[in-house]
Homo-oligomer: A and B are copies of this chain.
Amino acid sequence: MPQGAVGVNTARQLASHGVRTVLFTVAMDAPAIEKELSLYMLTKNRVLNNVSDLPNVGDLIIVALCEDTENPSHYPLLSDWINKNKAPVLALDPPTVGTPGITPKFSLLPVLPLPHSSNNGKLYLCNLGFPVDIFNEVGIKYKSPFGPKFVIPLHPRDD
């Protein structure tokens, strides 16, 4: 699932649990994003594509902006808005080098993460629940580190 689609999916699930969400999109060309967007629209929550329309306050900013490439795109107006905002920033599976201009407090990573830049904040590994044979099929010897947990911290403990 491309970055943006993950973000739209997250917004929809939060909306379904009663959270007032505002979705800001930069591109909606991928079919997976279009599909997620059409589902999100069913929540009747807002979608914006102008930074100037974004609200001044929020409780949490979730960033799912860039694929993992060496040179992720920079969105200066958007990152300015984020940096002026006091809400904590959570990045979903961000590029390993970080998201240009944005320093999340936390990043949520899928299975078997790459080493990440400290620009991605505190790293948390998410249990996506892949059955063990999926790993066997690609030649990886895997024993789940999660036990009953959904998320495990990968960052060093604070002193």
A42 near B133 with CB under 8 A, answer yes
Residues of chain B with a CB closer than 8 A to A41's CB: 133
Among A3-26, those with CB < 8 Å from B are 12-13, 15-19
Task: Point out the residue from B44, B148, B149 that lies within 8 Å of A133, measured CB to CB.
Answer: B44
We find that the number of chain A residues with CB closer than 8 angstroms to chain B is 26
The docked-state distance in angstroms from the alpha carbon of A135 to that of B156 is 46
Residues in A lying within 8 Å of B, measured CB to CB: 12-13, 15-19, 39-44, 127, 129-134, 144, 146-150
Question: Which of A12, A43, A130 has the most chain B CB atoms inside 10 A of its CB?
Answer: A43
Residues of chain B with a CB closer than 8 A to A15's CB: 131
Task: Point out the residue from B16, B19, B131, B149 that lies within 8 Å of A131, measured CB to CB.
Answer: B16
A131 near B17 with CB under 8 A, answer no
A148 to chain B: closest CB distance in Å?
5
CB-CB nearest in chain B for A129:
B16
